[in-house]
Amino acid sequence: MAHLYIHIPFCLSKCSYCSFVSYPGLEHLYDRYINALMTEMRMLTSVYEPQPLDTVFLGGGTPSLLSVENISSLLHSCRERFEIKAQAEISMEINPKTVDFMQVLSLKNCGINRVSLGVQSFIDTELQRLERIHNAQEAWDAVESVRNAGIANINLDLISGIPGQSVDSWRWNLQSAIALNPNHLSLYQLSIEEKTGFFEQFAGGRLPLPDEDEIAGMDEVTAELCRSAGYNQYEISNYARPGFECRHNINYWLNEEYFGVGAGAVRYLTGERIKNIEDPLLYCEKMERGESVVKESESLGPEASFRESVVMGLRMVEGVSSERLLSRYGIDLQLYYKETLEKLLELSLLEFHKPYLRLTAKGRALANQVMADLV
């Protein structure tokens, strides 16, 4: 079973918190970039034996800026290179500003069966602060368009901890999202990343971030509202109705292999993690000349990969299976971590219900600290 990520590095403008590989003002490259992606898929599948795809994920950037013809050609080429399983999850990230009913209907006909909408907030002043290109009404309209077009598998992305946000405004945001009845919610806490607009404002002391107590209050609201609306938390930031967990992302957290194509994309195949160059123009030029687009690669030995699997697996609420680790790496989790594990269990940051080692609620709040001890 295989998984494919396709990166679309284009946006209409740059949001103030964004550190993703995404660039505005490159409309002239769209067609060329699609051809380059097709070339990379062809090159990859001539080197690596492609297994049938269980998931395909078109992420970005803003994939919904591309024309339906572009997406259709891309998925067509994907089907030529890989077998896509009949029940495959085929996701696409959509910005609420860039979508309408007819477009989603066409995307559905191309095979898209899961849509992830980058809503981030239902409050216009918060959206303006994030420098999003859409407003709250457009987010509501987008959900309606996606659902009316017949795509029921919908994720909404929301951000908590936005500058100026209160516990009450977060509650209102989450209630608004739940009222739209999506199957999946990705609820990320804002982090301030280097080389972003927010980073500069933060460094200059001009960013009124919610304090620790307010963040804790928002976390309580999240737990309470999601539980009562029937969304199970299955990863630190992800909640789903039963059966609607994102299979593509679960594969990452299981630290299993995947294909990745596009500028800035990462792939993990035959034990090697490879990252592509980020510049979309250079990516196109190199692909047109049949040259490598690899920026860096890393081969993990079994022990490093084992530790990585532990840390990534602990992001999931279910935890990491010691049996799975033993059969994959031949390493016994308890023997390997010994005192470190005992200490974390004693501090009630981790719990071990064989075969699963998982973070406790207290451990989830201090997840970075726990991971640092295990990495």
Residue among 143 and 311 whose Cβ is closer to ligand SF4 = 143
Task: Confirm or reject binding of residue 18 to ligand SF4 (CB under 6 A).
Answer: yes
Residue among 153 and 196 whose Cβ is closer to ligand SF4 = 196
Residue among 118 and 363 whose Cβ is closer to ligand SF4 = 118
Instruction: Among 5, 40, 61, 64, indicate the residue that binds ligand SF4 (CB under 6 A).
Output: 61
Residue among 37 and 84 whose Cβ is closer to ligand SF4 = 37
Give the 3-state DSSP-derived string for the chain, with helices as H, strands as E and coil as C. Answer: CEEEEEEECEECCCCCCCCCCCEECCHHHHHHHHHHHHHHHHHHHHHCCCCCEEEEEEEECCHHHCCHHHHHHHHHHHHHHCCEEEEEEEEEEECHHHCCHHHHHHHHHHCCCEEEEEEECCCHHHHHHCCCCCCHHHHHHHHHHHHHCCCCCEEEEEEECCCCCCHHHHHHHHHHHHHCCCCEEEEEECCCCCCCHHHHHHHCCCCCCCCHHHHHHHHHHHHHHHHHHCCEEEECCEEECCCCCCHHHHHHHCCCCEEEECCCCEEEECCEEEEECCCHHHHHHHHHCCCCCEEEEEECCHHHHHHHHHHHHCCECCCEEHHHHHHHHCCCHHHHHHHHHHHHHHCCCEEEECCEEEECHHHHHCHHHHHHHHC
Task: Confirm or reject binding of residue 280 to ligand SF4 (CB under 6 A).
Answer: no
Mark residues 117-136: x for contact with ligand SF4 by CB under 6 A, - for none: -x------------------
Task: Confirm or reject binding of residue 22 to ligand SF4 (CB under 6 A).
Answer: yes
Mark residues 195-214: x for contact with ligand SF4 by CB under 6 A, - for none: --------------------
Task: Confirm or reject binding of residue 15 to ligand SF4 (CB under 6 A).
Answer: yes
- Give me the least distance between CB of 270 and ligand SF4, in Å please: 30
Which of these ranges, 13-21, 67-75, 141-149, 194-202, lies near ligand SF4 under the rule CB under 6 A?
13-21
Which of these ranges, 10-18, 178-186, 303-311, 319-327, lies near ligand SF4 under the rule CB under 6 A?
10-18
User: Are 179 and 142 contacting, i.e. CB atoms less than 8 angstroms apart?
Assistant: no
Task: Confirm or reject binding of residue 20 to ligand SF4 (CB under 6 A).
Answer: yes
- Give me the least distance between CB of 127 and ligand SF4, in Å please: 11
Q: Parallel, antiparallel, or unpaired: how do β-strands 259-261 and 320-321 relate? A: unpaired
Instruction: Among 55, 62, 98, 153, indicate the residue that binds ligand SF4 (CB under 6 A).
Output: 62
Task: Confirm or reject binding of residue 96 to ligand SF4 (CB under 6 A).
Answer: no
Residue among 18 and 136 whose Cβ is closer to ligand SF4 = 18
Task: Confirm or reject binding of residue 63 to ligand SF4 (CB under 6 A).
Answer: no
- Give me the least distance between CB of 118 and ligand SF4, in Å please: 6
Q: Which residues bind ligand SF4 (CB under 6 A)?
A: 11, 14-15, 18, 20, 22, 60-62, 95, 118
